[in-house]
Amino acid sequence: MVGVKEVSFLTLALTLVPGLGLNRAHQLLQKVGTPADIFRLRRAELVRDYQLPEEAAVAIAGRFAIRNAETAAREARSRNISILSYFDDAYPELLRQIYSAPLVLYTSGNVNYLRTPAIALVGSRRCSIYGRQISHKLARDLAEVGLVLVSGLARGIDSCAHLGALDAGGYTIAVMGNGVDVIYPRENRRLYERIRQHGCLISEFPCGSFPAPQNFPIRNRIISGLCYGTLITEASEFSGSLITARLALEQNREVWAVPGNITSPGSYGPNYLIKQGAKIVLSAQDVLDELPLYVLDCLSHPAEIHAPSGKVEPEELAILKLLPPDASIQFERLLKLSGLSQSRLNEVLLELEMRDLIRQLPGRQFARKL
């Protein structure tokens, strides 16, 4: 009788067989049975009966892959990284259902969130202020009702999705296109640490794997596969987010999109998806309306829109009216438009920012929050 830990270890070894590949590994498991059964086969059997390349057959029969797994497991432990196998009870059930599901997941953080109802929110790396604001707001509102937000830790929309969930006191999962121990992009170091404390970082790529361009389309199937649906807020015509939306449809999951200005390049993706039948999202409630009842029963409490507390003073209201939610205005321009003194404008902006009504952007630019 092979124990659970040994099954997990041999599954890891299977992923480290050179020349095998994920799809062929799945086929081999279907034909042979368990990872333990595979590692009992002789080289000649693997080549003759299962048409494996010589390199893969030698790695299995010669147990070189097992030695590689020992090294990988030791390295993961030294970096406080856990390895979750396809055959583990903690493996996310929704992900197990997709085609070519990863056989192992390298994880850092709380793996319990991998089995919590989740929604993916993804979009362009180069996004507008509107895209950032609506992504943060939707992620925050969805996290407040108990949904886990899944995204890819990339610049732009992905980062806003993670931050929105964390700012709501919720949880988020980052699916990485490199080793889970490699922080990419580097400017997301603080976000990476927050997710590790209040969510989970996962990757199917071994520790130390470089963020190669071909890895990111591969990881997108995991983003959509973990979730009941995928929400696109902004995406250009050739954005990788459209790959995630296509994968979600292939996995029989929901696809939602936020409509945008038809003259904006970032609105091409959502508008195209809506034209193809994706459901329009104007608020978090539009997402909740499409979730199964058994999922809604698992959520903590219904969505609530939190209105700012306290009275808004006339000068504050005047500044709010000057600030659009989809663009930013520099301090010098606000100074001219408002007619306030520099010191008074600073006081008003600070008060509005403390009450979470506006957002300060780099270069002393300001935008109204949605």
pLDDT of residue 293: 81
Q: Encode pLDDT of 2-48 as tens digits.
A: 556 888 999 999 999 999 999 999 999 999 999 999 999 999 999 99
Range with lowest mean pLDDT among 95-99, 104-108, 176-180, 332-336: 332-336
Average pLDDT over residues 185-205: 96
Residue among 178, 225, 175, 173 nearest 206 (CA): 178
| Helices 189-198 + 157-167 axis angle, to 10 | 40
On whether the 111-296 domain is CATH 1.10.3720.10, my answer is: no
152 to 65, 162, 219: CA distances (angstroms): 30, 9, 8
**Any bridge partners for residue 202, and if so which?**
107, 175
pLDDT of residue 313: 76
- CATH class of this structure's domain 314-368: mainly alpha
CA 337/CA 117 separation, integer angstroms:
47
**pLDDT exceeds cutoff 90 at 93:** yes
Radius of gyration for the chain, computed over Cα atoms and rounded to the nearest angstrom: 24
Instruction: Please state the pTM of the whole predicted model.
Output: 0.81
pLDDT of residue 19: 92
Q: Encode pLDDT of 232-267 as tens digits.
A: 999 998 888 999 999 999 999 999 999 998 888 899
pLDDT of residue 347: 84
pLDDT of residue 4: 60
